Amino acid sequence: MYSDIHGKAENLDLLPDDDDLVNICLGDICAGDPEGAGRTIDKLMERKAICLYGSHNRPAVDDEALEWFRIREQALREEGRGNPNILRRFHEDAFRLRRSLGAEHLRFLSSLPGTHTMELCGKVIRMIHDSPLAKGDLTKSRILNVDIARANFESPSFTGDILLVGHSHVPLAFREYEGEITETVFDGSGSIEISEGRYILNPGSIQRLRAYPKQNQKTAVFKGADRISYGILDLVKGRFDVRFIQSS
C-alpha cells in the first residue's frame, strides 16, 4: 500500500509489482501538474489499484470541494492566521487539473470513493485518506500522535479492526489494546506484529516524507528527507512492514 503520490508517477516504478500483492493507494494521487497527474493515473489503472480520493484530487472533479479551498483561504485571511497562500495555490492547482486532464482521467478521479472497506483473515480493514474525524475537526485530520490516535479509536466513526490512512506523509502505526495505545514512528525500514487489538497504519508517502515536530518530535527525522516509503500488510504472517527507498 502507498499514499500521497502527488503526481510523482516515476516513483510508482520503484515499488514492487507483484501479482500476489493487492495495490492500495490511500489518496492524493495528483497535484497541479496535469502531465504528471495523467501518467500517475495511467500507472494506477495498469496496476488495477484500489484507490481513494484525497484532499488534492476531489476538488478537480467536485465543485463543493474546490470551493472549500477558496472559503478556507478567505477565512484564514480574515482571521490573520495560518498560511492562506497555500490554500490559494491548492485551489489554482485543482482548477488547473480540471481544465487540463483528459476525459478518461477525470472520469477516473470522479469514480474514486472517500472510503473503502474489506475483510481479510477475519479482520475488517477500513481505508480513508486522512482521518474519520477530519470533517468535524481539521486539527485531527493528520493522525500524528497518541492523543489524536486515541480520539479516533474512541470515536464511533472508527469501525473495524485496522484503519489505513495517509495524508500526513509520515510512516507510523498505532495499536489500541485494552485501553492502552502504543506508537511506532518508522525512521527506517521495519515492521510491527499485527495481533490482538485495533490498529491505525500509515505507509508514509511516495512523493516525499514530512516532519511535524510540534505534533510529534519523532517526525523531525524526516525534515529534508530524500527517502520515500510504502507499506505491506500481511495478515497471514500477522505483520505490517514499512519499506524505505530513495526517491527518484
pLDDT, tens digit (0-9, with 9 covering 90-100), for 205-227: 999 999 999 999 999 999 988 99
Phi, psi of 128 (to 5 degrees): -150, 150
User: For the chain, which domains are there?
Assistant: 9-57+112-246 (3.60.21)
Model pTM score: 0.94
- Residue range 118-130: average pLDDT? 95
- What would the pLDDT profile of 45-81 be if each residue is shown by its tens digit? 999 999 999 988 889 999 998 898 888 889 889 988 8
Q: Does residue 136 have a pLDDT over 80?
A: no
**What's the one-letter identity of residue 14?**
L
Residue 145's Cβ-count burial label (10 Å; 0-12, 13-18, 19+) is buried
Cα–Cα distance between 25 and 56 in angstroms, integer? 14
d(CA 104, CA 78): 39
* Percent of the chain surpassing pLDDT 70: 100
Residue with cell 500500500: 1
